[in-house]
Structure formats: C-alpha cells, structure tokens
Amino acid sequence: MLLKVIVILLPLIHAAKSVRILGVFPYPAYSHYQLGDKILKELARRGHNVTVISPYAEDKPVNNFQQILLTNTIAEARGLKKDLFTIHSKLSPLEKIWTVDTLGITFSEKTLNDSKVQALLKSNAEFDAVIVHQFATEAYKGFCYHFKAPCISVVTMLAPNWINPQMGNPGPPSYVPELFVDLSSPMSFLERCYNTFAFLAVALVTHLYTLPKHNQLLQTYFPNPPNIYDVYYNSSLILVNSHLSINSPVPSLPNIIDVAGYHVNEPKPLPDELRNLMDRAKNGIVYFSMGSNLQSKDMPVDKLNMLLSAFAKLDQTVLWKWEDENLVGKSENIVIRKWWPQQDILVHPNVKLFMTHGGLLSTIEAVYHGVPILGIPVFGDQETNLASVVKGGYGLSVHYNELSEDALSVALEELLKNPTYSRNVKQRSKIMHDQPMRPLDTAIYWIEYVIRYQGADHLKSVARSLSWYQYFLLDVILASIVLVYLLMYLTKCLFHFVTKNVNSIKGKHKV
C-alpha cells in the first residue's frame, strides 16, 4: 500500500519542482546553438518544461521540450560561410567587432520579426526563467522583461570583456585581453596599449551603435517595451564557456559562472572500421577538422595543395574532415570523411595531434582529452583562443593568411616530435577535470538557484547602477583635485595674510 502511495505521489512532487523555461537560441551557427541545446535538454530531462526558439529542427521528439522553429536565418548564414576564407580571414580587430555586432543586429531582427515569435509575444504564455544566447543579441533580453522572468545568459566565448559592464564585473584591459585581439595575459607594454585601444573601441561601438540599434528592435517588436538599458543591466546569471585550464584567471562576480566542458559527451564506441583503422596506425593519428562553419572544400586550391604536400611527408595517418566525395591529390596516409565522431576520436590513445581552426569547442575538447593542438585560425575568436594555447605551451598556431607548406611542416614536426606539448596538455586536462562537480551540473545548479530565489538579486553587484564616471571614481578624483587646489589656495592666502601682518608689525616696531 505504501509503495502505491509513493508511486502516485512521486510525479506530483516532481511536477511541483518543475518550472517553465524559455530558451532563445536562434543564432544560425550550430556551434553556438549546441551549447544552449545541451543545457535546455538537460533541464527538460530533469522534468522542467522547456520551450526554445531555434533554427535547427529536432530529428525526433524530446520529452518536456518544444521548439519554435525559425527557418529564415539558415539560408542567409549558409551564404555568409562561403566568404569566411576569402573575406573574414583578413578582418582587423575593429572590423571583427563591427561585423559581429552587425550580424547580431541582423539576426536579432529576423528572429523578432518572425510570425511565430510574434505569436509567442502576443500569447498568454508564462515562464519562470528566460535563457538567452548572448552574442551581440541584447534585444533578446526583452523576452525576460516581457515575461517578467529572471534573465540568464549563455556566453559561448572565452570570458569576453563585453559582459563585464552589464554585470558590474571588473575587467581591466591591463591584464584581461579583448575578445578579438590575438593576445593572452600577461601582456607587454605595447600589447597593453593595443588592448586598451580595443577596450575603448568596443565600449564606443557598444554604446554609440549596437545598443541604440537593439533599442530600436525592442521598441519595434515588443509590446510595451522597456528601454534597452533597463534590460542590459538586469541579468541574474551569466554562464561563460570558459575555465582556468584554457585561459588566464580573470575576476568574476558570484553570478558569472565558468562552465567550459559541459558540452563534452561521454565517449561512445567507435565504428568497427574506424576503430580498426586507428588501432593499426602504428605511428599515430593526426586528426584535422576546420569545424562546422568553415569547410575545407571551400579553401582555395593553393592552400589545399600546401596541406596535401605537408601531410604527404608525415608517417602518421591523417583523418581529414572533408565535405566532398573526393579529394584530388591526396596521399595514401590521408583518409577523408564528410563527418567524423570528433569527440570519440580524440579519446583514442593513438591520436597524436588535433589540427583545428581554433574554435572554442574544439579547443576545449582537445584540452579535455589531452591532445596537443595545431591551430589554423581564420576569423572571429580563433586567434585569441590559439594565443592562449601557444602561451600555455600545449600547441602552435599558423594563421590561415600565413599558411605555407614550410610553416606547416615545421609546426607539424615540432608538435609530433617534442613531447613537451603532450605533457603540457595532459596537465591542462587534469586541471579541467579537477572540479567539484561536472560543468553541466554546475550550469543546471545555478539556473535552478536563480529560479528558486526569483532572480537572485542578492548576487547582483551595486556597480551595475553606477554611471561610468562613478565606477571609475572620476567624480571622487575631480572632487579630490578641487579640494587639494582649495587647500593650496587657502594655504597660500593664509601665508600671504600672515607674512603681511608680520611685516606690518615689524614696521611698527622700527618706528
């Protein structure tokens, strides 16, 4: 009888703890989407009711998980990918900042203008929390305001400095590198000058261009909209795809949580054919993939020939993610597939090196599994990610624009023959694994914590409400200068007064 009561009550208890969560992850870059997808599906698995605005359709239904599917951004994003090797690889840091912000505004408007999203905003739906993808998409925080729910952000980059002002978190450019400059801490004097310029440029672009544009989107697409600054400084929690094992320590308030590695899955058995191939590779495996946005088949012929020539010199077997049926000119040690189970491959003990574009997820996976890195950065944050790799001594980087057969061969030989890189990355892997709980459990704990405490205002810094001149104590400095000046002036007046009276007294005595 007692057992029957427990069986009946358990679903009721579980339902009482479950909450309604809206996920806003419509950015048409799968590497960004999968980070939100991992968290949202884990929340659904734990019994919460999850609705997500998504550009990627699910293959099969997921319990407690429903999509508001957008399709108007995928085609445009697919067109942009063709320019990544030719145009985006040559952008300066300032151009990268401008490009990211412009793309964020463009895709935010396409999302908010979608009829299904407008139907959601006009519905009677209620949510206990809103989780947004934060990547130059500040207008999405309007969902938090509209549904009167705590705002939780997921940042897919390494602790980017642009999250600091909205949280009141310190991020001095003296030792915290900007996202789109290829620097890592510590920095030289000239590097700090350059980083400070980038810091100021980001601040100016954000407040003079990006936020006003997102404010226009708020006013256009949300009913009874707030001003952008009312939501910009009102995040309850930010989950950052970062960790001490992959970047230098930076200051973090208690509501900025590092969760790098949470997307890494438990390894699955390799297909028999692939496992046999890797087991038989007596000199080891070099795994080469340029990620999900970049495609090797779109490389110019001269760059491809450089890669083919460098690989032909290797004794190792090269597994190459090549998105076409054939690769003309490949040597016998090269094996191509349109898709490889990357995470499962990196687990294999025969993998000696991971050649990558330097995307953050690939970098994290390499460190997680203890595999040295040879990076070929092309655009975005890839140079910054690889700068940390090189500084940490567990990989090398050859920029795409500087790629040559000689440079590639030298880097390959150094990484494959010098055991220092392998030792360093295995030490980094230990650091990444040495955490009190799994990164995914950490992310879920803090999300549920914020929901339990209705936004957890006690975690929010008072610094958010300070104006810029108050935050940097410019008013205190100015007041101090004025006070010192007044004291000096009064001292001078007093001195003149005293000396004048003393001289007057002396004159009277002489008479």
The pLDDT value given to residue 15: 40
Q: Which residues pair with 381 in a beta bridge?
A: none
Whole-number Å distance between alpha carbons of 177 and 149: 33
pLDDT tens, the chain, 511 aa long: 444 444 334 443 444 478 999 999 999 888 899 999 999 999 999 999 999 999 999 988 899 999 999 977 777 776 666 667 777 667 887 888 888 899 999 999 999 999 999 999 999 999 999 999 999 999 999 999 999 999 999 998 876 777 898 999 998 999 988 888 878 888 999 999 999 998 998 889 999 999 999 999 999 999 999 999 999 999 999 999 999 999 888 889 999 999 999 999 999 999 999 999 999 999 999 999 999 888 899 899 999 999 999 999 999 999 999 999 899 999 999 999 999 999 999 999 999 999 999 999 999 999 999 999 999 999 888 998 999 999 999 999 999 999 999 999 999 999 999 999 999 999 999 999 999 999 999 999 999 999 999 999 999 999 998 988 998 899 999 999 999 999 999 999 998 888 877 767 766 655 5
The domains found in the chain, sorted by start residue, are: 17-262+438-465 (3.40.50.2000), 272-433 (3.40.50.2000)
How far is Cα 156 from Cα 448, in angstroms, rounded to an integer? 20
- Distance CA(70)–CA(110), nearest Å, equals 9
Strand order in the sheet with 237-240: 65-69, 49-54, 20-24, 129-133, 151-155, 237-240, 256-258
Q: How far is CA 286 from the centre of its chain?
A: 27
Lateral strand order in the sheet of 351-356: 334-337, 317-321, 285-289, 351-356, 373-375, 395-397
**CA–CA gap between residue 346 and residue 354 (Å, rounded):** 8
Tokens of 53: 């605005």
Per-residue confidence (pLDDT) for residue 497, from 0 to 100: 85
**Residue 427 token pair:** 């030490």
C-alpha distances in Å from residue 20, one per residue of 13, 33, 52, 457: 16, 20, 11, 20
Residue 410: CB atoms within 10 Å: 14
Alpha helices in 222-359 (DSSP H): 228-232, 272-280, 301-312, 342-347
- Tokens matching residue 358: 């330097």
Please report the pLDDT score of residue 511 as a whole number: 53
pLDDT at res. 10: 41
How does strand 237-240 pair with strand 256-258? parallel
Output the pLDDT for position 82.
65
Helix axes 30-45, 360-369, angle to 10 degrees: 60
- N- to C-terminal Cα separation, the chain: 120
**36-51 pLDDT, tens per residue?**
999 999 999 999 999 9
Which helix H or strand E contains 387, and what residues bound it? helix 382-392
**Amino acid 88: pLDDT:** 66
Residue 13 CA to its chain's centroid (Å)? 36
| 94 in Cβ contact with 202 (< 8 Å) | no
How would you class 303 by CB atoms within 10 Å of its CB: exposed for 0-12, middle for 13-18, buried for 19 or more?
middle
> Which of 118, 141, 131 shows the shortest CA–CA distance to 221?
118
What the block records as the tokens of 224 is 């009874």
DSSP reduced 3-state for 428: helix
Helix, strand, coil share (%) of the chain residues, nearest 5: 50, 10, 35
